[in-house]
Structure 1
Amino acid sequence: MYFLEDMTLLLTVVVSCLILLTSYKHFWRKGNLPPGPTPLPILGNYLQLRGGDMTKSLLKLSEKYGEVFTVYLGFRPVIVVTGYKSVKEVYVDRGDDFLARGDVPSFDFHFKNYGIVFTSNMDRWRELRRFSLSTLRDFGLGKRSIEDRIHDEALCLVTELKKTKESFVKSRQYISKAACNVIFSIMFGHRHDYEDSELLDAISLMYTASAIVSSEWGQLYEIFPWFMRFIPGAHQKTFICMKKLLQFVEKRVQMNQKTLDENNPRDFVDAFLIKMEKEKNNPKSEFHLTNLVNSTLQIFFAGVDTISTTLTYSLLLLMKHPNVLAKVQKEIDKVIGRDRCPKIQDRNQMPFTEAVIHEIQRFIDLLPFGLPRKTTRDITYRGYSIPKNTNVYPLLSSVLKDPACFPYPTEFNPKNFLDENGKFKKNDAFMPLATGKRICMGEGLVRMELFVILVTILQSFNLRAPVALEDLVITPEISGLGNLPKLYKMAFIPR
């Protein structure tokens, strides 16, 4: 009995010493990284980052340590970069030095460095991005054909909203269906009926995964993945959701394989399958089933989540600011009217609406960290030595709310994008989905969907809040990798 207790104690001491030694060696190798708070063994800088809003914690640390500083997420050193000039240097001026994808443990566990969005393998990324951009353009991205598809989907959405008969409903449930169908038609060749169980399941799984990854549980997993993987908690549901989503895509791929006509590709999956066949004798080819499934899910997930969250937040902000909503609707009535569908070229005659849409994207700060990057080689940056494969967080939040770039950085105000004559004014610090070579591939699609769908909704409806305007909370309900709004119900009142 005593022998077993002694052995247990001895093993505990030995394991603890090994962990501490590993931690000490890791921190000792810090070298000439930028300054930052002193990390603790194992915990890193968790004590400075806890509280559920890592963005605020990092911005507070930047006040002490400057625009570029180092924090430790557990054992991992992360270089945090803040402010427009510094972030632009990472994304654009020295973009090739910071081009690799950084660690995102919540997604890396499933994707395992495959696919286009979450791979840090630069050869893989270049091959898949080149192919994906070309293929997405072939299937309408940036062309009139995709605009027509968005118009049709926006009209379907309006029809569904009319069926609510002015009752209070959760707007995201409807918006997500329209957003999902647009990207679904590109990736898989067709749309779904709004009550289709397959569509509803995919939307639910994506929202749940996104919300948990951005929650406090998700942030804990990002810091301590080696430990949290085995700890019960809400983050475990992310693994279930992602597994089901991968199975969903695998099923779609199998359906395409059975009906593939190499002379008549119908969608992104068909094009990838044809490319796979052409390169089947190349052992180093990146065009194989694993990259197909992972790339398809990553593009699909990003397309649905980005536009659904942004449009949901748009309606909330416009409910909160009825004077802004009224001015947008006045401009819509003047330029487009209430009968014809909005067209992308209408934006040139709608400076206030264009400013409002930009301000919505700036204010909601959809991806406050951006997506993490890694250095592609050993570099010297701002006088510091940063080794290859070091994680970097270009804090988009610090750019979108940089007082040096926006006159009203912390408030929702379309004047951030209007000149003294009321004309739309571009701003280089507007980078809601990052910028540079690794900018979101669907950035143009997002802008198109935002304009067409939002304007179509506002052509047809006024918005009614379920509570007094002063009780509408517009700060994010969940803030982590992404900012998600409180999901208010609202009523759509025909105009």
Structure 2
Amino acid sequence: MSALEDASATLTSSNATPVLAGVAALFLVAFASKRFSSPRDAKKEPPGPRPWPLLGNLLQLDLNWLDRGLCELAKCYGSVFTVYMGNKKVVVLAGYKAVKEALVGHAVEFGERYINPIFHDNSQGHGIIFANGDSWKELRRFALSTLRDFGMGKKLAQEKVLEECSHLIPILESHKGQPFDTTSSLSCATSNIICSIVYGNRFEYSDPRFTDMVQRTNESVRLSGSFQIQLYNMFPWLFRWVKHRQMFLSNRDKNMEAIGELLQQRKEKLDPQMCTGLVDCFFVRKQKQEEARVEQGYFNEHNMNFVVGNLFAAGTDTTATTLRWGLLLMAKYPQIQERVHEELSREVSSRLIDVEDRKNLPYTNAVIHEIQRFANITPMAIMHQTSEDITFQGYFIKKGTIVIPLLSSVLYDESEWETPNTFNPSHFLDKEGNFIKKDAFLPFSAGRRVCLGEGLARMELFLFFTSLLQHFRFTPPPGISKDELDLKPLVGFTLNPMPHRLCAIRRQ
């Protein structure tokens, strides 16, 4: 269904008459103001397609596949160009060189987060992911140092992942080689890693509070990238009533209630001399802040709830989604799967995987990196905005301008990858079969807003993926050939595989 057909379906309701009347009135206002037809500023601004009043460039883009449309526009307008999402001006950065130069070379100027209406509704600027200013700096610094203290990127985190593998593998074995949906088990497994660091303990897969939180988080990630929510983000005064917004906020409220209960349990057991997770450390900082009578401190209840919520959501969805893509691709390309297993058998045999094994597993390492590149789960990153006026690659960009670092254009950059549209582990191998790093490998973004948990995510992906392929062979369900497995993504805030089932055949 096209974007216009979706819009038509959305507006076909009892509310349609007043909505359409409002749209018509706004068209007249937009034409009268000549907002879009006025001459450009004397300073040279990024080029782009001419926008329509009110709608901007929506008629030239498919909101269901927005990153693809922007990649096509980059072919016409270059690596820095302007589009209008409704009446909101957006500068798009396309290709590895432009994205890296902006986010790393001009990290401060491009380092603020644009907080769109749905995420403002969600957190009102609290937490880490959708926050700016001194609060963001302080809380990110605290979260990063505390995550490191509790093992992020260290042996302690490896022990947590391998322990979780010991719980995940029996779950997969319980299906006895029959088809199953990988979503729940992988989401619970990856979520438990961040939970063990945040709360100091993991949860059983049968715990309904835990599994409900995971399910609601996954649903909210999907909803936040939906067509309805995109309409709301562009026209919040017109589409506050859309169903997906209400569902998103309902999920937020239920998860915040569950998080509140878990935080209260931690508070009752708090021993400042024996912190077992990030939550305990936050409580200690909060107490010290209160004792010092700091009036506008950042270690308060609202920020605590949303810091925990941010880490839970990020630690649940992205790694699990990448693993789901990985297993689907192994079923799609069994020859690659067998080559990975052969390398694991030769270098590791049946013992537990260790992160140090990575240097002896060049092909496996290349496959994992190619999964991340090909899956491209955050195609437009999370929107930035400029913190000050800047002239970038000869174009003037005003302070407060929304910026999209188009990661699709980086991970599929034809000048950086030999066969960008093909799943090809050779992208990360030299002629002798040694693993090689690629500068254009930016699945975690870059600069000040690079993924907070990149080190943990990289470790998780390696240990979960290798442990699963060490124990299982993944195949399509009976009656479905590998060629019938669909690699088309399911559109959301992150790109998930389409709903599917796989068989996990226990290796002897």
TM class, shorter-chain normalised? over 0.9
In structure 2, relative to structure 1, the CA distance for the partners of 1:15 and 1:486 (3 Å cut) is closer
| Structural mapping, 1:275-314, within 5 Å | 275-280=285-290, 281-314=293-326
Residue number among 144, 157, 168 corresponding to 1:133 in the alignment: 144
| Structural mapping, 1:216-255, within 5 Å | 216-230=227-241, 232-255=242-265
In structure 2, relative to structure 1, the CA distance for the partners of 1:44 and 1:17 (3 Å cut) is closer
Tell me the amino acid that sits aligned with residue 259 of structure 2. Answer: V
Q: Tell me the SS of whatever aligns to 1:190.
A: coil
Task: Kindly indicate whether residue 168 of structure 2 is the aligned counterpart of residue 154 of structure 1.
Answer: no
Residue number among 207, 222, 227 corresponding to 2:218 in the alignment: 207
In structure 2, relative to structure 1, the CA distance for the partners of 1:30 and 1:390 (3 Å cut) is farther
- Contact 2:111/2:447 (8 A) holds in 1: no
| Structural mapping, 1:32-71, within 5 Å | 32-71=44-83
Deviations 1:334-356 (A, max 9, x none): 11112x11000000000000000
Task: Kindly indicate whether residue 105 of structure 2 is the aligned counterpart of residue 93 of structure 1.
Answer: yes
In structure 2, relative to structure 1, the CA distance for the partners of 1:14 and 1:238 (3 Å cut) is closer
CA distance in 2 between counterparts of 1:444 and 1:29 reads 47
| Structural mapping, 1:257-276, within 5 Å | 257-276=267-286
In structure 2, relative to structure 1, the CA distance for the partners of 1:22 and 1:329 (3 Å cut) is farther
CA distance in 2 between counterparts of 1:102 and 1:420 reads 43
Q: Tell me the SS of whatever aligns to 2:502.
A: strand
Cα offset, 1:219, TM superposition? 2.8
Q: Tell me the SS of whatever aligns to 1:303.
A: helix
Cα offset, 1:30, TM superposition? 6.0
Task: Kindly indicate whether residue 485 of structure 2 is the aligned counterpart of residue 472 of structure 1.
Answer: yes
CA distance in 1 between counterparts of 2:486 and 2:233 reads 27
- Contact 1:73/1:224 (8 A) holds in 2: no
| Structural mapping, 1:322-341, within 5 Å | 322-338=334-350, 340-341=351-352
- Contact 2:285/2:299 (8 A) holds in 1: yes
CA distance in 2 between counterparts of 1:302 and 1:262 reads 27
More moved, 295-304 vs 239-248: 239-248
Structure 1 vs Structure 2 CA RMSD = 2.0
TM-score of the superposition, structure 1-length normalised? 0.93
Tell me the amino acid that sits aligned with residue 475 of structure 1. Answer: K
Tell me the amino acid that sits aligned with residue 182 of structure 1. Answer: I
CA distance in 2 between counterparts of 1:107 and 1:77 reads 18
Residue number among 95, 99, 109 corresponding to 2:121 in the alignment: 109
Deviations 1:56-100 (A, max 9, x none): 111111111111111111221110000000000111111111010
Number of the residue aligned with 1:436: 447
* Structure 2 segments unaligned to the other structure (5+ residues): 1-17
Q: Tell me the SS of whatever aligns to 2:64.
A: coil
Number of the residue aligned with 1:4: none
Number of the residue aligned with 1:385: 396
CA distance in 1 between counterparts of 2:270 and 2:371 reads 41
More moved, 259-268 vs 181-190: 259-268
Q: Tell me the SS of whatever aligns to 2:396.
A: strand
Tell me the amino acid that sits aligned with residue 268 of structure 1. Answer: L
Number of the residue aligned with 1:421: 432
CA distance in 2 between counterparts of 1:45 and 1:25 reads 14
| Structural mapping, 1:365-404, within 5 Å | 365-404=376-415
- Contact 2:92/2:405 (8 A) holds in 1: yes
CA distance in 1 between counterparts of 2:33 and 2:439 reads 41
Task: Kindly indicate whether residue 91 of structure 2 is the aligned counterpart of residue 79 of structure 1.
Answer: yes
Q: Tell me the SS of whatever aligns to 1:95.
A: coil
* Structure 1 segments unaligned to the other structure (5+ residues): 1-7
Deviations 1:139-169 (A, max 9, x none): 1111111100100101110011111111111
Q: Tell me the SS of whatever aligns to 2:249.
A: helix
In structure 2, relative to structure 1, the CA distance for the partners of 1:240 and 1:490 (3 Å cut) is same
Cα offset, 1:196, TM superposition? 0.7
Cα offset, 1:20, TM superposition? 2.4
Q: Tell me the SS of whatever aligns to 2:137.
A: helix
Task: Kindly indicate whether residue 337 of structure 2 is the aligned counterpart of residue 317 of structure 1.
Answer: no
Q: Tell me the SS of whatever aligns to 2:450.
A: coil
CA distance in 2 between counterparts of 1:30 and 1:249 reads 49
Tell me the amino acid that sits aligned with residue 91 of structure 2. Answer: I
Residue number among 360, 365, 368 corresponding to 1:349 in the alignment: 360
Q: Paired residues, what number?
A: 482
Deviations 1:361-401 (A, max 9, x none): 00000100011111111111222221211110010010001
- Contact 1:103/1:391 (8 A) holds in 2: no
In structure 2, relative to structure 1, the CA distance for the partners of 1:24 and 1:273 (3 Å cut) is farther
Task: Kindly indicate whether residue 198 of structure 2 is the aligned counterpart of residue 187 of structure 1.
Answer: yes
CA distance in 2 between counterparts of 1:118 and 1:13 reads 30
| Structural mapping, 1:7-26, within 5 Å | 16=26, 19-20=29-30, 24-25=34-35
In structure 2, relative to structure 1, the CA distance for the partners of 1:29 and 1:308 (3 Å cut) is farther
Cα offset, 1:103, TM superposition? 2.8
